[in-house]
Amino acid sequence: MTKSILPNSTIGIIGGGQLGQMMAFEAKAMGYKVIILDPQENCSAAQVSDDQIVANYDDLEKLIELAKRCDVLTYEFENVDAKAINEVKKYTQVPQGTKALSVTQNRVSEKDFIEQSGFQTVPHVVIKNIFEYHRGIEKLTAPVILKTIRGGYDGKGQILIEDPDDVCYADIEELLMQGPCMLEKKINLKKEVSVVVSANSDGQTSIFPIIENVHRHNILHLSTCPAQLSEQASQHIYQVGETLAKELELVGTMCIEFFVSDDDEVFVNEIAPRPHNSGHLTIEACNISQFNSHIRGVCNLPMPEVELFKPALMVNLLGQHLENAKAELNLHPEWNFHDYGKDAIKENRKMGHITVLSDNLTQAKQAIENNPIWRV
Ligand code: ADP
Ligand code: MG
């Protein structure tokens, strides 16, 4: 049994975006002190924390300073340098370790890991140049999606190739200049779902009900819970969640994204070794949120069984939505409104979200879809 890190101890969080902010809210509510490391002064997470170290994520000296000042260190995003984490481990506990980080930072090792664990990924090939690109297209047949192997998020670093005779080679060359890429068969999606799992250092887990996700322009738009799935698909997805948590020696929260094809086949898309946008609805809809379970995990507190109190829907507020949503906030008592307090409003930047609890999800969804706020 690993010792628990109790309230009044200090938690250091690398990364100060909305995920760090929601982790900090939970930690503060439980009585922990929180220090954020982020290059942006007064970032989202720092606004609700005790202190901030303003530094780049790869500034080893500052990371060591953070480590020395806290009892436990965690991170809110996957592009933390695993080498730096190993270095700061000398000064404080980093229970999340680096296995989940290093496996998921790279689409190739991520897909290999999923397959080695016995689960299905979409057909894919790794390509290093235009010659291999053509071979890949022949093998997979269009439509395909070209993706960078590292650093992609919200569809960034991706090119959809519907018709190989009508592609912009300059765009493809540009992605390839960044290093090897992955060519993936585009699946006819019936739906996309995700499952959030958390674990503590003693190996206890909390697994959240499956969430159904709708993306727009590759950015998450709407999540609903519970997901509408066959019993068989659900069982399979929970099994993937439990198995991958064990294999990755998970501590804290992770989320696994899935594709469900037209003929009900389940493919594992990718793994986020941190809380996930689709899990935001757990804040209001469940007995514990994905952030609460993350803090429990890294502090090695007991992991409760998750209960969904009420069906829920979460819709993102991007830069183009935020001000309009605020303007009609007083019309919507049903909205649980979240604004991350980011300084710059940019198109397609995640600025906040709204969660609605409802016994009639179809109706709640309709209300969002009919609202002009989300038509842009
Ligand atoms: P990111 O790292 O940007 O989240 P993803 O691989 O999850 O990248 O892709 C973003 C979205 O693009 C997915 O959620 C899905 O809607 C769509 N997409 C990606 N790959 C495929 C695929 N092989 N088939 C169908 N849709 C896909
Ligand atoms: Mg994704």
* 1, pLDDT greater than 80: no
Q: What percentage of the chain reaches a pLDDT higher than 70?
A: 100
- Going by C-alpha positions, the residue among 205, 272, 195 that lies closest to residue 234 is 195
What is residue 120's three-state secondary structure?
A: coil
Give the helix ranges, DSSP H, for 304-356: 319-327
Judge whether 17 and 44 are in contact, CB under 8 Å.
yes
User: How far is the C-alpha of 84 from the C-alpha of 64, rounded, in Å?
Assistant: 9
What is residue 72's three-state secondary structure?
A: strand
* Atom 5 in ligand 1: residue holding the nearest Cα: 155
What is residue 82's three-state secondary structure?
A: helix
* Atom 12 in ligand 1: residue holding the nearest Cα: 218
What is the model's pLDDT at position 154? 80
What is residue 369's three-state secondary structure?
A: helix
Structure pTM? Answer: 0.96
Q: What percentage of the chain reaches a pLDDT higher than 90?
A: 94
- Residues linked to residue 243 through DSSP beta bridges, in sequence order: none
Ligand 1 in contact with 218 (CB < 6 A)?
A: yes
What is the model's pLDDT at position 353? 98
- Core vs surface per residue 74-110: b (16+ CB within 10 A) or e: bbbbbebbeebbeebeebbbbbbbbbbbbbbbbbeeb
Q: Once rounded to an integer, what is the mean pLDDT over residues 9-35?
A: 98
Q: How confident is the model at residue 263 (pLDDT cuts 50, 70, 90)?
A: confident
Centroid of ligand 1 to alpha carbon of 218 (angstroms)? 6
Structure tokens at 115: 């397959």
Can you say how many angstroms the Cα of residue 305 is from the centroid of all Cα atoms in its chain? Answer: 21
E strand residue ranges, the chain: 10-14, 33-38, 51-54, 72-75, 124-127, 144-148, 158-161, 181-185, 189-199, 205-207, 211-216, 219-225, 252-261, 266-272, 312-318, 336-339, 350-357
251, amino acid identity? V
- Going by C-alpha positions, the residue among 313, 304, 318 that lies closest to residue 283 is 313
Ligand 1 in contact with 110 (CB < 6 A)?
A: no
Give the helix ranges, DSSP H, for 286-340: 290-298, 319-327
What is the model's pLDDT at position 369? 96
Task: Report the residue among 182, 187, 216, 259 best suited for mutation to probe ligand 1: largest number of ligand atoms under 8 A from its CB.
Answer: 259
* Atom 17 in ligand 1: residue holding the nearest Cα: 218
* 234, pLDDT greater than 90: yes
